[in-house]
Amino acid sequence: MPPERIVTTDEFGEGIEKVLNTDLPQGMVVTVLFEDLNGKTKLTIQVVYESADDRRKHEEMGVVAGWNSSLDCLEEHLATISV
């Protein structure tokens, strides 16, 4: 049976403050859910933050656009390998 859920933490690496001059959110937990919908897969991504302020910081950094861009690239890649 394929995995239905992936849960991981997400942190910015050491030294990132030298590249991004901002107060970065820490301690994010990312849950990715896969749901079968009549032969298609529904993907849900949930990010949980330690505080509302951390969520705001991450949103201002472009987290939603970043996930959308990554998923667009994945879709394009999968189209090249599907049968």
- 46-63: pLDDT as tens digits: 999 999 999 998 898 899
In whole angstroms, give the CA distance from residue 67 to residue 18.
23
- Check: CB of residue 34 under 8 Å from CB of residue 2: yes
31 touches 10 (CB < 8 A)? no
- The total of structural domains in the chain comes to 1
User: Could you give the residue ranges of the DSSP H alpha helices within 6-62?
Assistant: 16-19, 52-61
Residue 72 scores a pLDDT above 90: yes
Name residue, tokens 């690496």: 13
Per-residue pLDDT, 26:
81
Distance between alpha carbon 61 and the CA centroid of its chain, in Å? 13
- HSE toward the beta carbon, residue 76, CA cutoff 13 A: 6
